[in-house]
């Protein structure tokens, strides 16, 4: 996997300015790391509230119809805002952005098929196993295995200690969406390196939208043209696609893929919060403990990454 790697720990070998000297009382998160972490967290909040809104829209437009509205509106907005340049890119650039678009379409389609069959919290819990697996594979430090393991315990606890009571189709869709999520992390980073600003994201979103339009029309037909449905679909697109994907793409330019992936373990907690506020789904005691575990694991991974003053290097081409 061609993922970003951590810079050497010595300041002379790092790209950019040397790490700041820790203040008395222990090390602090560097500003250049705290910034992308904040972007990831903001993107996670946005996408989970967008997902909760999407659940309320499914009776109107169907799962594939909701994905179609989300991707089409997001593609139109990003293309208008970014106005990406179509000339001057290599064949490898276009190949990367096309694969990114395919991965994005698959991730969204599989996830909405999952939440159409099982509850939002368990679906996100299963989906986040993909990024967690990526964090283990991409990490170059053994201690990150401990944080990933702690997050994994929290993920299963949030799912009630097991998933045998859920339908096999919904579980399979959620796990498949998690695999695509891991692929999204990798190809989002690659796209961010090859295209300026969010140009690559806009082009990939257009690819995903083109792929999904026939599926949405086949399932929902004229329901996709109802003004209320279009308006709600536009809100889902902004919350679940435009804002989070842009924030995460920018964050991945300065944050190691392994740390980003462990941060994604916060998604079940954010989904539970969105489910409670939007869908009226309450938390059990075990779910509350699970939230504490995944937050502790994610913050521990970030602190470990920056505790020795490591600055993410320029990712490999």
What is the crossing angle of helices 168-194 and 243-252, to 10°?
60
Give the pLDDT score at 192: 80
Q: Does residue 237 sit in helix, strand or coil?
A: helix
Asked if 87 contacts 250 with a C-beta cutoff of 8 angstroms, the reply is no
Q: For 23-43, give one letter per residue: b (16+ CB within 10 A) or e.
A: eeeeeeeeebbeebbebbbeb
- pLDDT tier for residue 162 given thresholds of 50, 70 and 90: low
Q: Cα(295)–Cα(278) distance, rounded to whole angstroms?
A: 22
Mean pLDDT of the 106-113 span: 93
Give the pLDDT score at 101: 93
What are the pLDDT digits (tens) for 114-152? 988 887 877 887 887 787 777 667 666 777 778 778 877
Q: Cα(52)–Cα(70) distance, rounded to whole angstroms?
A: 13
Mean pLDDT of the 185-212 span: 87
What are the pLDDT digits (tens) for 254-289? 777 666 766 766 777 788 788 788 877 676 777 678
Give the pLDDT score at 171: 82
- pLDDT tier for residue 177 given thresholds of 50, 70 and 90: very high
User: For residue 217, what are the contacts with CB-CB under 8 A and spacing of at least 6?
Assistant: 68, 224
The alpha-helical segments, DSSP class H, found in 195-254 are: 199-220, 227-237, 243-252
CA atoms within 13 A on the CB side of 317: 4
Mean pLDDT of the 237-246 span: 84
Q: What is the pTM of this model?
A: 0.73
Q: Which of 85-89, 201-205, 225-229 has the lowest mean pLDDT?
A: 85-89
Q: Which of 46-50, 78-82, 192-196 has the lowest mean pLDDT?
A: 192-196
């Amino acid at each position: 996997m061609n993922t970003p790697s951590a810079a050497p720990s010595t300041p002379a070998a790092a790209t950019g300015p040397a790490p700041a000297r820790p203040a008395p009382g222990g090390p602090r998160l560097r500003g250049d790391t705290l910034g992308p972490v904040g972007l990831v967290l903001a993107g996670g909040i946005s996408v989970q509230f967008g997902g909760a809104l999407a659940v309320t829209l499914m009776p109107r437009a169907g799962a594939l119809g909701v994905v179609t509205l989300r991707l089409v509106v997001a593609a139109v907005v990003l293309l208008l805002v970014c106005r990406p340049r179509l000339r001057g890119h290599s064949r490898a650039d276009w190949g990367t952005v096309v694969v990114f678009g395919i991965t994005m379409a698959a991730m969204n389609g599989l996830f909405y098929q999952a939440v159409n069959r099982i509850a939002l919290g368990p679906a996100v819990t299963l989906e986040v196993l993909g990024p967690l697996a990526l964090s283990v594979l991409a990490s170059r430090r053994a201690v990150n295995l401990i944080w990933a393991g702690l997050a994994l315990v929290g993920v299963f606890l949030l799912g009630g200690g097991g998933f045998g009571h859920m339908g096999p189709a919904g579980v399979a869709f959620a796990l498949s969406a998690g695999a695509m999520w891991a692929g999204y992390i990798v190809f989002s980073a690659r796209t961010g390196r090859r295209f300026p600003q969010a140009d690559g994201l806009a082009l990939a979103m257009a690819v995903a939208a083109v792929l999904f339009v026939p599926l949405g029309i086949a399932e929902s037909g004229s329901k996709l043209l109802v003004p209320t449905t279009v308006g709600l679909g536009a809100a889902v697109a902004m919350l679940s696609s435009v804002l989070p994907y842009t924030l995460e793409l920018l964050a991945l330019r300065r944050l190691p893929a392994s740390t980003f992936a462990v941060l994604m373990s916060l998604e079940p907690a954010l989904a539970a919060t969105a489910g409670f506020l939007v869908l009226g789904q309450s938390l059990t005691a075990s779910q509350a403990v699970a939230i504490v575990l995944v937050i502790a694991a994610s913050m521990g991974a970030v602190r470990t990454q920056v505790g020795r003053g490591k600055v993410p290097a320029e990712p490999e081409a």
